[in-house]
Amino acid sequence: MSGVAIPLLLTLKVAFTATLAALVAGVAAGWLLARTRFPGREALDAVLLLPMVLPPTVIGYYLLVVLGTHGAIGAWLDTTFGVRLVFSWQGAAIAAAVVAFPLVFKAARTAFESVDPNLEKAGRSLGYAEWRVLARITLPLAWRGIAAGAMLAFARATGEFGATLMIAGNIPGRTQTLSIAIYEAVQAGDDALANSLVVLASITCIVLLVAAAAIVRRGHLRIVPV
Amino acid sequence: MRFDVDIRKRVTAAGRVFDLDVAFCADSERLALFGPSGAGKSLTLQILAGLVAPDEGFVRVDGRTWFDSKRRIDVPARARRIGYVFQDYALFPHRTVEQNVAAALVSPILGRLHGAARREVGDLLEALALARLSDSYPAQLSGGERQRVALGRALARRPSALMLDEPFSALDAPLRSRVRAELLALHERFAVPYVLITHDAEDLATCADAVVTLAGGRVVAQAAVAADAPASSSSATRGQSVGSRA
Residue range B54-74, pLDDT digits in tens: 999 999 999 999 999 999 999
Check residue A96 and give its pLDDT: 95
Once rounded to an integer, what is the mean pLDDT over residues B162-173? 88
Question: Strands, E, within chain B: which ranges?
Answer: 2-13, 16-27, 30-34, 56-61, 64-68, 73-74, 82-85, 161-164, 194-198, 210-215, 218-224, 241-243
CB contact under 8 A, A125 and B51: yes
Q: Does B235 have pLDDT greater than 60?
A: no
CA-based nearest distance A102→chain B, Å: 27
With a cut of 80, say whether residue B137 has pLDDT above it.
Answer: yes
B237: pLDDT strictly greater than 50: no
* Three-state DSSP class for residue B26: strand
Place B115 in a pLDDT band, splitting at 50, 70 and 90: confident
Measured between beta carbons, which residues in chain B are less than 8 angstroms from residue A220? 93-94
Measure the CA–CA gap between B243 and B246, rounded to whole angstroms: 6
Residues pairing with B237 in the sheet? none
Residues of chain A with pLDDT below 70 are 1-2, 216, 218-226
Residue of B nearest to A137 (CA): B92
Q: Does A225 touch chain B (CB under 8 A)?
A: yes
Instruction: Tell me which chain B residue has its CA closest to the CA of residue A133.
Output: B108
**CA B38 and chain centroid, separation:** 17
**For position A204, what pLDDT does the model report?**
85
Three-state SS at B24: strand
Q: What is the CATH number of domain A2-54+86-217?
A: 1.10.3720.10
Could you give the CA distance from residue A203 to residue A12 in angstroms, rounded to a whole number? 13
CB contact under 8 A, A225 and B90: no
Average pLDDT (B25-47) is: 94
Phi, psi of B17 (to 5 degrees): -105, 130
DSSP characters for A82-104? ----TTSHHHHHHHHHHHHHHHH
- Give me the total of CB pairs closer than 8 Å, taking one residue from chain A and one from chain B: 71
pTM above 0.90, yes or no: no
Q: Residue B236: its pLDDT value, please? A: 41
Residue B140 has pLDDT above 60, yes or no: yes
- Chain A residues with CB under 8 Å of B106 CB are 226
Name which of B84, B95, B153 is nearest A226 (Cβ-Cβ): B95
Chain B residues whose CB is inside 8 A of the A124 CB are 50-51, 76-78
Q: How far is A25 from chain B (nearest CA, A)?
A: 24
Using the predicted structure, report yes or no on whether residue B8 has a pLDDT greater than 70.
yes
Give how far Cα B107 sits from Cα of A220, B81, B95, B97, B183, Å.
21, 17, 15, 17, 28
Tell me the nearest-neighbour CA distance from B102 into chain A, angstroms.
8
Rounded CA separation B78/B89 (Å): 18
Domain ranges of chain A: 2-54+86-217
Q: Given pLDDT bands bounded at 50, 70 and 90, which one contains residue B224?
A: confident
- Which residues 102-161 of A have a C-beta within 8 angstroms of B? 116, 118-119, 121-129, 132, 136-137, 140-141
The DSSP call for residue A23 is H
Q: Which residues pair with B73 in a beta bridge?
A: B68
Instruction: Calculate mean pLDDT across residues B179-192.
Output: 90
Give B82-94 pLDDT, tens digit per residue.
Answer: 999 999 999 999 9
What backbone torsions phi and psi does residue B16 show, to the nearest 5 degrees?
-105, 140
Spatial distance between the Cα atoms of B244 and A91, rounded to a whole number of angstroms: 73
Percentage above 70 pLDDT, chain B: 91
Q: Give rounded-to-5 percent helix, strand, coil for chain B.
A: 30, 30, 40
Q: State the DSSP code for B235.
A: B
Distance CA A96, CA A63 (A): 11
The per-residue DSSP string of A119-145 comes to HHHHHHHTT--HHHHIIIIIHHHHHHH
- What are the DSSP calls for A175-215, one per residue? T--HHHHHHHHHHTT-HHHHHHHHHHHHHHHHHHHHHHHHH
DSSP string, B62-113: TTEEEEETTTTEE--GGGS-EEEE-TT----TTS-HHHHHTTTTS-TTT---
> Of B51, B94, B153, which has the smallest distance from its Cβ to A121's Cβ?
B51
Indicate whether B230 pLDDT > 50.
Answer: no
Residues in chain B: 246
The closest of B91, B85, B62, B88 to B75, measured between CA atoms, is B62
Query: Is B77 close to A125, i.e. CB distance below 8 A?
Result: yes
Closest-CA distance, B226 to chain A, in angstroms, reads 32
Q: Where are the domains of chain B?
A: 94-159
Task: Report the relative pairing of strands B194-198 and B161-164 from DSSP bridges.
Answer: parallel
* d(CA A226, nearest CA chain B) in Å: 5
CB contact under 8 Å between A220 and B103, yes or no, is: no
Among chain B residues, the shortest Cα distance to A222 is held by B94
Cβ distance A122 to B84 less than 8 Å, yes or no, reads yes
* Rounded Cα–Cα distance for residues A74 and A91 (Å): 11
Q: What is the pLDDT of residue B109?
A: 83
Interfacial B residues in 38-97 facing A (CB < 8 Å) = 46, 49-51, 76-84, 86, 88, 90-96
